[in-house]
């Protein structure tokens, strides 16, 4: 099968190695001419995914038309702030029968759309699906065992994606809950910032466990209010992705939070991480969605104050711990 990869960052290159290893005809596009030149010369992304060598059959190009031409599947792997502009760029070359699989994570701040909604709004004729879960590029690129979930409103599309991406180290489940999968992937980045801040403050495992547990509670409340399913948030793209993003050394969101916890501003943290930190872009959108759907999200609200209102991470922790007393699950009642 011919596949076009739109984006040549660490995740794009990891998926390129996976898909070419599965025997597919892969073309990778990037807007960055220097990046494509490096990939063509070394068959390896020297800065973002060193050590993962790409097969000679893979083509690298700066031509969107070349990447899209005759591809059965297009994989959208650009950072969330560039999803809309990339969708506009590829729109003239996308055919009705092509499938676009979004593997980026985030919420568009201005529109509050999920990324598949953004793509669909720019390319109404496209069949848009999502692939998400606990899947760091550094590990997938090195063929470490990984499980993810493919979401589509059409079962046959989800099964096609499953068949295309499945490998002996990469297991793909399927689901019809596209909105739930996307919200889990986007909102976990905001909670990971909080987990990183706790690490930066020198807090322990108890704190991390509390943030993960209460974080998935917030994500689930909003996700269900927006039409997602409870089972999704208890699955790979919910609690699974949240755990790995809060705990891993590979997590740019956790690492940025760590620097903020040590006293840096979010802008200083972003400069030091040197990669797109999706949680910063999703934090405001998550806050606006919580107000729109009248859902309590105290961790998200407090993280917004740290990022954009100069609240110190240490004070943020105190605020969260000193909130009004409440039950853990308000749906549970005494007889």
The DSSP secondary structure of 110-133, one letter per residue, reads TT--BHHHHHHHH-TTSEEEEEES
**Contact by Cβ (8 Å): 179, 237:** no
Alpha-helical segments (H) within the chain: 10-21, 33-42, 64-68, 83-90, 115-122, 137-140, 155-165, 178-200, 205-225, 230-233, 241-247, 252-261, 266-273, 278-292, 298-308, 313-321
Taking residues 260-273, what's their average pLDDT? Answer: 89
The pair of structure tokens assigned to 230 is 């409870």
Residue entry with tokens 């039950």: 327
How far is Cα 214 from Cα 187, in angstroms, rounded to an integer?
A: 13
Active site residues: 188
Give me the pLDDT at residue 105, please. 94
Structure letter (DSSP) for residue 239:
I
| Tens digit of each residue's pLDDT (9 = 90 or more) over 183-234 | 999 999 999 999 999 999 999 999 999 999 999 999 999 999 999 999 999 9
CATH number 3.40.50.720 is the correct assignment for the domain at 2-176: yes
Q: How confident is the model at residue 37 (pLDDT cuts 50, 70, 90)?
A: very high
Give me the pLDDT at residue 208, please. 95
| Tens digit of each residue's pLDDT (9 = 90 or more) over 97-123 | 899 999 999 999 999 999 999 999 999
- CA-nearest of 335, 252, 260 to 302 is 260
The pair of structure tokens assigned to 273 is 């991480």
How far is Cα 67 from Cα 124, in angstroms, rounded to an integer?
A: 20
| Tens digit of each residue's pLDDT (9 = 90 or more) over 284-318 | 999 999 999 999 999 999 999 999 999 999 999 99
Q: Where in the chain is the domain with CATH 1.10.1040.10?
A: 179-321
Q: What are φ and ψ of residue 114, in 5° steps?
A: -70, 165
Q: Where in the chain is the domain with CATH 3.40.50.720?
A: 2-176
Q: What are φ and ψ of residue 172, in 5° steps?
A: -120, 125
Give me the pLDDT at residue 278, please. 82
The pair of structure tokens assigned to 274 is 């040197």
* Bridge partner residues of 127 (DSSP): 99
- What pTM was estimated for this model as a whole? 0.94
- CATH code for 179-321? 1.10.1040.10
| Tens digit of each residue's pLDDT (9 = 90 or more) over 142-156 | 999 999 999 999 999
Structure letter (DSSP) for residue 31:
S
Mean pLDDT of the chain: 95
| Tens digit of each residue's pLDDT (9 = 90 or more) over 50-86 | 999 999 999 999 999 999 999 999 999 999 999 999 9
The pair of structure tokens assigned to 334 is 């005494």
């Amino acid at each position: 099968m011919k596949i076009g990869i739109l984006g040549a960052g660490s995740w794009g290159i990891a998926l390129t190695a996976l898909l070419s290893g599965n025997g597919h005809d892969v073309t990778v596009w990037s807007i960055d001419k220097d990046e494509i030149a490096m990939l063509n010369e070394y068959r390896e992304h020297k800065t973002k995914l060193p050590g993962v060598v790409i097969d000679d059959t893979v083509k690298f190009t700066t031509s969107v038309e070349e990447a899209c031409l005759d591809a059965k599947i297009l994989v959208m792997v650009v950072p969330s702030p560039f999803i809309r502009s990339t969708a506009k760029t590829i729109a003239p070359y996308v055919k009705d029968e092509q499938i676009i699989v979004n593997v980026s994570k985030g919420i568009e701040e201005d529109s509050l759309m999920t990324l598949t909604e953004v793509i669909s709004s720019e390319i109404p004729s496209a069949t848009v699906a999502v692939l998400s879960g606990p899947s760091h590029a550094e590990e997938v690129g090195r063929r470490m065992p990984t499980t993810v979930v493919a979401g589509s409103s059409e079962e046959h599309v989800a099964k096609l994606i499953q068949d295309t991406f499945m490998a002996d180290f990469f297991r793909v489940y399927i689901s019809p809950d596209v909105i739930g999968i996307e919200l889990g992937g986007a909102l976990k980045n905001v909670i990971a910032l909080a987990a990183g801040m706790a690490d930066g403050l020198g807090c322990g495992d108890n704190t991390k466990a509390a943030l993960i547990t209460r974080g998935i509670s917030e994500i689930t409340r909003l996700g269900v209010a927006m039409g997602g399913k409870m089972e999704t948030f208890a699955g790979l793209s919910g609690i699974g992705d949240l755990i790995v993003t809060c705990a891993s050394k590979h997590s740019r969101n956790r690492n940025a939070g760590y620097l903020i916890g040590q006293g840096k501003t979010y802008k200083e943290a972003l400069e030091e991480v040197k990669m797109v930190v999706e949680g910063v872009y999703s934090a405001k959108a998550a806050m606006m969605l919580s107000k729109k759907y009248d859902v309590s999200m105290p961790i998200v609200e407090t993280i917004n104050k740290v990022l954009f209102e100069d609240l110190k991470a240490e004070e943020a922790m105190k605020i969260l711990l000193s909130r009004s007393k409440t039950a853990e699950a308000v749906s549970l009642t005494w007889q």
